[in-house]
Structure 1
Amino acid sequence: MTATWDPPNTTDPILSVRQILALERVLAGDPEVVAGSAHLDRPVRWVHVAEAPDVGVMLTGGEMVLTTGVLLAGDEHKQAEYIQSLHRAEAAAVVLGLGRAFPAPPDAMRRAADRCGLPLVVLHRPFPFAELTEEVQSRLVRRKFAAVSLSESVRTALTGLITAGAPLQRLLDEVAVHSGCPVVVTNLAHRVLATAGERSAVDDVLRDWERIARQAGGSAGDGWIRAELGGRGERWGQIMLCGHRGDTATGRLLADRAAEALVLHRMLGGGSAHTWEEQSAQSLLTDLVSGVVPARQLLPRARAAGLPVNRRTFVPLVVRDAEPAQLERILRLLGLPGLVAELTERTTAVLLSLARDQDAAALAAHFAARLHDESAGPRTVVAAAGARTVWDDVPVGLREAQHVADAVADTAAALDLPTVVRLKDVHLRGLVRLLRDDPHVQSFAERELDGLLCGNGTDQDLLGVLRTYLATGRNKSRTAQLHHVSRPALYRRLEAIQTRLGVDLDDFEQAASVHIALLAHDAQQQ
């Protein structure tokens, strides 16, 4: 039976036995695979015409040998030994032209080729071997040149991005364009650090990431091609092309060029002060807080990042004035699974993922107490939203925790706050912050504080005193202590404030009005 073949991939830097047999000139010889059909995807390095029985000693591996077998006719032992010698030399395949020496496929060669797993192809019609060698050699040269050209093109593009200080994501986007498939960067624990490619395709890959990643392992089957990331004898991750539709050799080339660029990017600092792990968490939590991407679409990313998500209780926290590295260390010490990401210069989000039978409130308090015990600073605030058992509710919880943290940010030292601050603890501050964008509230704040909003240093100092004085419930001793001034000095400043604003701060209603205006003013500055 004559085989049928798929057309060769012209972007492949090498040719396989299968692709050579699909060439028009070869098809003219009516090829038939009579043995070793399971090995037709072997790469062919060269095509060699040889009639010598001991041709195997002249080969270096990867050759397709063309022969008429004229010196093998009539001797089955020589025929079998000929196939075995080619197998020992790691030849890619042998092509036998049927004719005077062998009018039909020889059984001895066929049996030996089947035992060795060496593709044996016979040509039923006369065929000029010189045409085939010329065709294949020229194609191999062109493809090798194309491979070098592609390699240099990718390297140049990625190097240019690194030189320009591009972030990791920009490099991966470039790799995804060249590979035409999702690109995933992981650490050694298979946790996803970054992705690129068409969003729906990436989500399909991440949906069952742990199983897929471990199943793919180190193989390049089914278009899963990976390259190790590391340097100086130490591995720290890998980049994977997921479902690459092109040939394996091109995929490996792209993965290798990408790996080289990522290692260089990391060595040079990656254009960011954050590690890739931190950037991954930051991207995920920022997307959750913003609400631009539906939470359900972010679930595969969270799972792939190593956050437990099945039947869990999620505790959204936002911490002001603490280092993300410190928060991550405390989570590890307490054995609490979670993600940590810096949202702004002073604000860090922490998303805890707890088992359903764990006490979420107690563990959040334990985390906050440990943070305060480490002398994180008098202004450090741990704000929390209520625990969520549904993933879709996490974004609302994070925004609530952020709102609480921002509401007390500027007066944390003056307020008697609990270890974990919640919405019920911010009272009027929370309401005013929600209304900060209302034009009427903005106008009210400007009108009430007009005498202190000139913007010079003295005004800023007086505003700070006023803020503390009102936040402490008009406690003069506490205010003087916090501002490191004597009582007489504080009295002079309070008198200046009342004169500037034209109010009597001993009058409850006037003090309350100024307090609300100041809360609104501070909220508008955030």
Structure 2
Amino acid sequence: MTTALEPALSVRQVLALDRVLAGEPEVVAGAGHLDRPVRWVHVAEAADVGVMLSGGEMVLTTGVLLAGDPDAQAEYIRSLHRAEAAAVVLGLGRAFPAPPDVMRRAAERCGLPMVVLHRPFPFVELTEEVQSRLVRHKFAAVSLSEAVRTALTALITTGAPLQHLLDEIAVHAACPVVVTNLAHRVLATAGERSAVDDVLRDWDRIARQAWGYHPGPSGTGGGNQGDGWIRAELGGRGERWGRLVLCGHRGDAATGRLLADRAAEALVLHRMLGGPAHSWEEESAQGLLTDLVSGVVPARQLLPRARAAGLPVNRRTFVPLVVRGGDPARLDRVLRLLGLPGLVAELSEGATALLLSLPRDQDAEALAEHFAVRLRHETGVPAVVAAAGPRTAWDDVPFGLREALHVAEAAADTPADQDGPVLVRLRDVHLRGLVRLLRDDPHVQSFAERELDGLLCGPRADPRLLPVLRTYLATGRNKSRTAQLHHVSRPALYRRLEVIQERLGIDLDDFEQAASVHIALLAHDAQQR
């Protein structure tokens, strides 16, 4: 259930009240401005009433002090216009039996709604009706403000993520909510999914329109433009770092600004308490890439989110990459140094995904290789970058990300080598990649346990021999290299190999038996990971 307030009374709505209709109201000027909000109703007969107003008042008068003085009548209307009155209501009677032309023409020139009442009408009834409605609305606005503040504060104190706060804001605002950085890139959204998608689908145009706002009176610098677009600036300690936008708020502008201000205060507090560990930009990229990998949401439906997040998507080549053990901030810095557009996010512990978006006339393979080389140079660590084949269709990106993850997992068992390849593709993981795909198959698990039973189970099991066997097979059964890597003499290695063969009941000099044990060991390692 939403809690957004109905708009405050406008001039048009005041004229539609039963008590006003009893006075037979007629709009004689300013008919195009009847949607002005009425802040208060003021009964005044003074000729200089304008100096007593502060704006937004509907002024009720009989004009008794203006009768017979055309100059005073015209100045009376001009003073109301200067004071930004909402409208003037003239009760016809002894002073003015008919609408005075001088006042009507002046009101039309000023764009001030002027209404005459053809039947005698006690002004006190109108003031009571309108004032009570305005007071109730103001009280409801204050209650809404406190309800929003309380709800958001409770979420923050329980450590709720940003998305939970935005969902709560969207419930109260009854419209889509968007958080952007200063470059207008969308960091997070909330609200009804179809409505949010409509906003994101044309975000570039909408952002240009929305950023034409004028600063509002609120402390956060809120502003609004037609159709209920209301924004509030996000920042603190003299620095702005984002914006919150209510998209298509249906309530009155004052209520919308109130909601936006309370929401902005909560988001600033949330960011200050959350610390710099995960910025909203990282969370946005992580959410998008995670949804792409999972396949729960069709890629086509995620396209507006990607575009709004600043990823170029039209006529592009997409290159999915995964780095094991890479720091997202460092990877993003390398991307910026090379001027490569893309998204970076940690998908799981130790696996950071990158989605490059390149012009189709550029060599995607060469640029991916260049990124991997630069990354190794910047970090000084022989990190291996797993790459999927370039994709020119957005719908193929999820499969590409999953392929890059698979390659990264398959390459994880390979010892990092400073002189080894910096970019690993599916064709480079060979048998290790196949075993990775089949590691959860019960038949493969049984095969691995059966082949390695002598080292893993029983009273004579010795898992310390597994590293020796692993190195021996990985080096192509090179005894000298294996002895060197394990820092043992060759005679000592021979004795260990003899023990391994005895316990497994195999001959490692037999290619088929050695291959069988090698596959079993790869499967065992994959299952353990």
Contact 1:186 1:237 in 2 (8 A): yes
Quick one: structure 1 residues 359 and 75, their matched pair in 2 at CA, closer, same or farther if it must change by over 3 Å?
A: same
Report the counterpart of residue 268 of structure 2 in structure 1. 263
Report the counterpart of residue 227 of structure 1 in structure 2. 232
Higher mean C-alpha displacement, 361-370 vs 502-511: 502-511
Following the alignment from structure 1 to structure 2, what is the Cα–Cα distance between the partners of residues 480 and 415?
A: 21
Following the alignment from structure 1 to structure 2, what is the Cα–Cα distance between the partners of residues 283 and 425?
A: 29
Instruction: Find 2:427's aligned residue among 424, 428, 434.
Output: 424
Q: Secondary structure at the match of 1:181?
A: coil
Contact 1:321 1:381 in 2 (8 A): no
Quick one: structure 1 residues 371 and 497, their matched pair in 2 at CA, closer, same or farther if it must change by over 3 Å?
A: farther
Quick one: structure 1 residues 150 and 461, their matched pair in 2 at CA, closer, same or farther if it must change by over 3 Å?
A: farther
CA displacement 1:61-96 (0-9 Å, x = unmatched):
322110010111111111011111222223222111
Report the counterpart of residue 157 of structure 1 in structure 2. 151
Report the counterpart of residue 367 of structure 1 in structure 2. 371
Following the alignment from structure 2 to structure 1, what is the Cα–Cα distance between the partners of residues 74 and 458?
A: 97
1:370-409 equivalent positions in 2, closer than 5 A: 370-378=374-382, 380-409=383-412
Quick one: structure 1 residues 261 and 459, their matched pair in 2 at CA, closer, same or farther if it must change by over 3 Å?
A: farther
Quick one: structure 1 residues 228 and 483, their matched pair in 2 at CA, closer, same or farther if it must change by over 3 Å?
A: farther
Q: Secondary structure at the match of 2:227?
A: helix
Contact 1:307 1:339 in 2 (8 A): yes
Instruction: Find 2:475's aligned residue among 472, 477, 486.
Output: 472
Contact 2:4 2:251 in 1 (8 A): no
Contact 1:12 1:249 in 2 (8 A): no
Report the counterpart of residue 339 of structure 2 in structure 1. 335
Following the alignment from structure 1 to structure 2, what is the Cα–Cα distance between the partners of residues 152 and 70?
A: 45
2:114 is equivalent to residue 110 of structure 1 = no
Which residues of structure 2 form unaligned runs of 5+? Answer: 214-223
Following the alignment from structure 1 to structure 2, what is the Cα–Cα distance between the partners of residues 386 and 133?
A: 73
1:284-303 equivalent positions in 2, closer than 5 A: 284-303=288-307
Following the alignment from structure 1 to structure 2, what is the Cα–Cα distance between the partners of residues 42 and 459?
A: 85
Deviation of 1:475 (Å)? 3.3
Q: Secondary structure at the match of 1:69?
A: coil
CA displacement 1:425-457 (0-9 Å, x = unmatched):
11111111111222111100111122343699x
Q: Secondary structure at the match of 1:235?
A: strand
Report the counterpart of residue 211 of structure 1 in structure 2. 205
Higher mean C-alpha displacement, 115-124 vs 93-102: 115-124
Quick one: structure 1 residues 495 and 238, their matched pair in 2 at CA, closer, same or farther if it must change by over 3 Å?
A: farther
Instruction: Find 1:77's aligned residue among 67, 71, 82.
Output: 71
Following the alignment from structure 2 to structure 1, what is the Cα–Cα distance between the partners of residues 209 and 77?
A: 36
Instruction: Find 1:197's aligned residue among 191, 195, 198.
Output: 191
Quick one: structure 1 residues 10 and 470, their matched pair in 2 at CA, closer, same or farther if it must change by over 3 Å?
A: closer
CA RMSD of aligned residues (A): 2.4
Contact 2:7 2:251 in 1 (8 A): no
Instruction: Find 2:323's aligned residue among 314, 319, 322.
Output: 319
TM-score by length of 2: 0.92
Following the alignment from structure 2 to structure 1, what is the Cα–Cα distance between the partners of residues 464 and 419?
A: 22
Q: Secondary structure at the match of 1:102?
A: coil
Quick one: structure 1 residues 38 and 462, their matched pair in 2 at CA, closer, same or farther if it must change by over 3 Å?
A: farther
Contact 1:95 1:120 in 2 (8 A): yes
Q: Secondary structure at the match of 1:138?
A: helix
CA displacement 1:300-342 (0-9 Å, x = unmatched):
1110110101001111111112111111111111111111111
Identity across the alignment (%)? 84
How many residues align structurally? Answer: 515
CA displacement 1:443-487 (0-9 Å, x = unmatched):
00111122343699x955443343333223233444455556665
Q: Secondary structure at the match of 2:42?
A: strand
Following the alignment from structure 1 to structure 2, what is the Cα–Cα distance between the partners of residues 502 and 313?
A: 52
Report the counterpart of residue 447 of structure 2 in structure 1. 444
Following the alignment from structure 2 to structure 1, what is the Cα–Cα distance between the partners of residues 137 and 484?
A: 78
Report the counterpart of residue 126 of structure 1 in structure 2. 120
Quick one: structure 1 residues 425 and 249, their matched pair in 2 at CA, closer, same or farther if it must change by over 3 Å?
A: same
Contact 1:46 1:63 in 2 (8 A): yes
Report the counterpart of residue 221 of structure 2 in structure 1. none
Contact 2:439 2:527 in 1 (8 A): yes
Report the counterpart of residue 65 of structure 1 in structure 2. 59
Following the alignment from structure 1 to structure 2, what is the Cα–Cα distance between the partners of residues 455 and 348?
A: 40
Contact 2:331 2:344 in 1 (8 A): yes
Report the counterpart of residue 3 of structure 1 in structure 2. none
Instruction: Find 1:254's aligned residue among 248, 254, 259.
Output: 259
CA displacement 1:236-261 (0-9 Å, x = unmatched):
11111112222222222221111111
Instruction: Find 1:239's aligned residue among 219, 222, 244.
Output: 244
CA displacement 1:188-236 (0-9 Å, x = unmatched):
1110101111212111111111111111222331121111111122111
2:436 is equivalent to residue 433 of structure 1 = yes
Matched to 2:114, the amino acid is L
Q: Secondary structure at the match of 1:316?
A: strand
Deviation of 1:130 (Å)? 0.3
Q: Secondary structure at the match of 1:317?
A: strand
